[in-house]
A = this chain, B = another copy of it.
Amino acid sequence: MKNTRITLKDLAKELNLSASTISRALVNHPAISEATKKIVQKKADELGFIPNSIAASFRMKRTQTIGVIVPRIDIHFHSLVISGIEEFAYNNGYNVTIFQSKDSLKREKEIIKILQNKMVDGVIVCLGIETQNCDHFKKINKSGIPLVFYDRVPTDFDANKIVINDFESAYLATEHLIKNGCTTIGHISGSQTTNIFKARLEGFKAALKKHHLPIEESLILFTKNLTYEEGVACAEKYLESPLKLDGVFCANDYTAVSVIQVFRKAEIKIPEEIAIVGFSNYPISRIIEPHLTTINDRAFQMGEAATKLLIRQIEEKDDDIKSETITLKTELIVRESSSRN
């Protein structure tokens, strides 16, 4: 059953050619005559030749493989990014090997080791929540393997990054609320140790300032992980607030959905009495009623852009480490939750 695979040598013997010629013919080397190429290709098909790309990788020290490290693959955002990575990689002849760090620093370090053992050509990573220090990444980078970060990116060294313009997106979202007549606007934010949530908060404040609205600190609520449950708690706080708010900008869609539900249960009309904007354009945003205005965070494009940058660096000849930051444009998707006409 386990038939031994045909090799270049077998093909060579069969055709009275050298293995070198077979090898070259199969990769369409310009020095080989068309006639020979045709003969070789035909024989290869005939005998069901399966090239051993492990042997080739070993020889060339190139695996055509990209390693990906995400906190968890079953978070929709990451699965969208990975989808973009796989798509772009596939179309450019690279394969993708996936690892979940589970937000564990220990595991992240183990994975880095495996990636080096396996000689991946490059690595795309979203840092785990525990990771404050990127020495393990610096090491792999110095060994000549290009690295691109997305979403949660390192601050302690100069790396390739794909990000979105969180500040401006938040600014835009907030301004949209203002333009729809909101004057007392709350914000539900995430952990301030994560840059993107800090930036969203800043953008929110900047928009208020710009439009001469007061920044009510009591309406800025902080959560740990922006979960649905935390969102419910925040919404309940808003209900108890002496300030009568008429708009909320949430740093993600889950919390926005909880706010919608809690307010509706309290018989508050959305968007008439309170307008809501979320962030990320999760599938639920166009299912929840009223449909949620949100920011398209371009997860798929993030994966594509990361892979494109990575492959360019893999295939570039020169060995200088340089780092680029690519900022993707987001988009405000206006739906009913904020549309007062």
Chain A interface (Cβ < 8 Å from any Cβ of B): 1-3, 5, 50-55, 57-58, 63, 65, 72-74, 76, 79-80, 82-83, 86-87, 90, 95-100, 113-114, 116-119, 142-144, 228, 257, 261, 283-284, 287-289, 300, 319, 321
Cβ-defined partner of A98 (8 Å) among B58, B98, B284: B98
Q: A72-B83, A83-B73, A319-B1 are in contact. Are A118 and B90 (CB under 8 A)?
A: no
B82 touches A73 (CB 8 A): yes
Q: Which residues of B contact A52 (CB under 8 A)?
A: 58, 117, 119
Contact across chains for A2 and B53 when beta carbons are under 8 A apart: no
Q: Once bound together, how far apart are the Cα atoms of A144 and B144, in whole Å?
A: 36
The smallest C-beta distance from A243 to any residue of chain B, in angstroms, reads 27
With A53-B119, A82-B98 given, can you name 13 additional A-B contacts, CB distance below 8 Å? A2-B143, A50-B117, A52-B58, A54-B118, A55-B58, A65-B97, A73-B82, A76-B76, A76-B79, A83-B100, A95-B118, A97-B97, A257-B287
Cβ A287 vs Cβ B289 within 8 A = no
Q: Which of A54, A72, A79, A82 gathers most chain B CB within 10 Å? A: A54
User: Which B residues lie within 8 Å of A97 (CB)?
Assistant: 65, 95-98
In the complex where A1-B142, A54-B119, A63-B54 touch, is A83 in contact with B87 (Cβ < 8 A)?
A: no
Query: Given the complex of chains A and B, what is the CA–CA distance between A117 and B72 in angstroms?
Result: 29
Contact yes or no, B58 A86, CB < 8 A: no
**A42 CA to B76 CA, complexed, in Å:** 43
Residue pair A86, B114 in contact (C-beta under 8 Å): no
In the complex, are the beta carbons of A116 and B54 less than 8 A apart? no
Which residues on the B side are within 8 Å of A118 (C-beta)?
A: 53-54, 95
A96 to B228, CA, bound (A): 31
| Interfacial chain B residues near A54, Cβ < 8 Å | 54, 57-58, 63, 118-119
**Do A228 and B1 touch (CB < 8 A)?**
no
Decide if B74 touches A144 in the complex (CB within 8 Å): no
Q: Say whether, besides A58-B54, A117-B52, A80 and B90 are in contact (CB < 8 Å).
A: no
Q: Which residue of B lies closest to A228 (CB)?
A: B287
Name the CB-closest residue of B to A5: B143
The answer to whether B289 touches A261, judged by C-beta atoms less than 8 angstroms apart, is: yes
Q: Which residues of B contact A284 (CB under 8 A)?
A: 283-284, 287
A2 touching B144 in the complex, CB below 8 Å, given contacts A98-B98, A117-B50, A261-B289: yes
Identify 6 residue pairs between A and B in the complex whose beta-carbon atoms are under 8 Å apart, listed by A's number: A53-B117, A65-B97, A73-B82, A73-B86, A82-B98, A96-B99
Q: What's the minimum C-beta distance from A297 to chain B, rounded to whole angstroms?
A: 14
The residue on B at minimum CB distance from A2 is B144
Cross-chain contact of A100 among B5, B86, B144 (Cβ < 8 A): B86
Residues A1 and B83 in contact in the complex (CB < 8 Å), given A55-B58, A76-B76, A97-B96: no
10 pairs of A and B residues whose beta carbons are closest in the complex: A79-B79, A2-B144, A53-B117, A74-B83, A58-B58, A74-B79, A73-B83, A97-B97, A74-B80, A54-B58
